[in-house]
Structure 1
Amino acid sequence: MPPDFAAFDFIIQPGWNNSPPEHWQSHWQQLLGAQRVGNHEWFAPQLHDWLQALDEAVAAASKPVIVIAHSLGCATVAHYAARHGKRLAGALLVAPADVERASAPAQLQPFAPLPDAALPFPSLVVASDNDPFSLPLRSVRMATRWHSRLYWLPRAGHINVASGHQHWEQGLDYLRELIADIRAATPQAASA
């Protein structure tokens, strides 16, 4: 684990259908010694079950928690924050899926509508301008409603294996930026 990450516990929150071994979340899980949320049903997700699994992962942590979410996992974090407030130190939200879009698969409907409130912790959204699961204006809307800093990856698809994002080392720079934001916002994190 990079030494500047040692003050935090990391939780990997995959999206719909989980992240395969080649996915950057799987690589980061190994690199960071992160815990992956153990959802019971990846293919027919239910919001209550996903929130419970995330809460169990957070409860098992011994340090301040940063959630690294992808796709539907980002919606999960938004719902979790609305219910559990400041249990998280921060969140990296990558390629958030627009669960409110008219073409959203029926399996994602339990996650709509998204909470319309700022996240009560520092967060970064990393979005792609050609994500098939979220139009740019919808990604902007999610980042704005969550009060998250927004970064764009040009023509990066859904920032997953299909778009060529396996190890995704550039993403670790966004994680470092998030950690800097957490330390700036939280005096006790700054001294860790």
Structure 2
Amino acid sequence: MAFHYPNGRRFISKPLEQAARPVKKMNFSNRGMTLEDDINASNEYYLANGTAVVHKKPTPVQIVNVHYPKRSAAVIKEAYFKQASTTDYNGVYRGRHLDFEAKETQNPSSFPLKNFHTHQIEHMKGILKQGAISFIILRFTATEEIYLMKAENLISFWERMSEGGRKSITKAEVEACSQKIPLGFQPRIDYIKVIEQLYAHFFSSGI
């Protein structure tokens, strides 16, 4: 099945890109889960325990070609994303709107800014203007390190690139302006605990 972006460019899913790669040996810290899998599992835990309500945003698609190999079965052969996506997740925690993006890289020393798009940066700016909480969760897959970075910091790095600066965020910069999230069991990625630390002023007022 072929998917296309609004500009007509063909979409290649990550699973297909990764199909030819050798399977990474799993260990205690990496059980073969992608960052998205881990966050989804964490969100289910938060929901079940009444901690927060956070969901992955659905991506609307338009189906343009369907094949019917059997009368009782249909196979989608071609589809288009109706619009450019914004961020991956949104929800509510203690009366505050949460909006964030999750990205991972195999680069052990820096995080490429090409993983983000202009419309996502603009979306985060709009979220911040409304007084909500916006951030990104980054994973360095080589070392299984996960960080939570405020959207304000990502925007600063993006603007640096736009002005002719480097096209990535160094690992040292990520460590300096982000909070590391240790891998756990339940939840797997406890980003809510980090939010409590980084955004304490949002909750101390009781508003």
> How high is the TM-score relative to the length of structure 1?
0.39
Q: Of Structure 1 and Structure 2, which has the larger fraction of its residues in helix?
A: 1
Greater RCO (CA < 8 Å, at least 6 residues apart): 1
Q: Of Structure 1 and Structure 2, which has the larger fraction of its residues in strand?
A: 2
> How high is the TM-score relative to the length of structure 2?
0.37
* Structure index of larger Rg: 2
